[in-house]
C-alpha cells in the first residue's frame, strides 16, 4: 500500500514530487509511518469479503456442477471452469459493488 499511496501522491497535478521515492520520504516525514498505510483498512474491509465470497462460491460450484464425464474433454473442462469463475466473480461483485458506490459518493 505505501507504493500505491506514493504513486497517487505524485499524480496530483499540484504535487512538487517527481518520483515514488520522493513521495515515500515526504509522506513519512509529514505524516509518519502510519501515513504510508492510510486507507488500508477500507481496502481490506472491501477485499477480504469479496475474495472469501468468491472462494466459497467457487467451492460450492465445484461440488454441485456436473462433472466432465469424458477424460481429456478439454472443452468440457474449460466450460465447467468458466462457469465456476463467472459465478464466483459475479458473487464477489454483487457483494462489494454497493460498498464501492457508497465509498465514491
- Note the pLDDT tens digit of each residue in 41-59: 766 777 788 889 999 999 9
Same domain flag for 72 and 92 = yes
**Distance in angstroms (rounded) separating the CA atoms of residues 57 and 1:** 28
Give residue 26's Cα distance to chain centre.
Answer: 27
Same domain flag for 97 and 71 = yes
- Say if residue 102's pLDDT is above 80: no
Same domain flag for 24 and 53 = no
pLDDT tens-digit series, residues 80-96: 999 999 999 999 888 87
Same domain flag for 45 and 31 = no
Q: What is the mean pLDDT of the chain?
A: 85
pTM, entire model: 0.57
Domain containing 86: what range? 41-104
- Say if residue 22's pLDDT is above 70: yes
**Distance in angstroms (rounded) separating the CA atoms of residues 87 and 83:** 6
Same domain flag for 81 and 96 = yes
Amino acid at each position: 500500500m505505501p507504493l500505491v499511496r506514493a504513486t497517487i501522491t505524485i499524480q496530483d497535478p499540484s504535487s512538487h514530487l517527481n518520483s515514488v521515492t520522493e513521495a515515500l520520504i515526504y509522506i513519512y516525514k509529514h505524516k509518519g509511518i502510519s501515513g504510508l498505510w492510510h486507507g488500508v483498512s477500507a481496502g481490506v474491509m472491501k477485499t477480504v469479503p469479496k475474495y472469501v465470497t468468491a472462494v466459497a462460491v467457487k467451492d460450492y460450484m465445484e461440488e454441485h456442477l456436473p462433472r466432465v464425464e469424458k477424460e481429456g474433454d478439454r472443452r468440457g473442462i474449460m466450460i465447467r471452469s468458466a462457469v465456476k469463475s463467472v459465478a464466483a466473480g459475479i458473487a464477489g461483485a454483487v457483494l462489494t459493488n454497493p460498498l464501492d458506490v457508497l465509498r465514491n459518493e
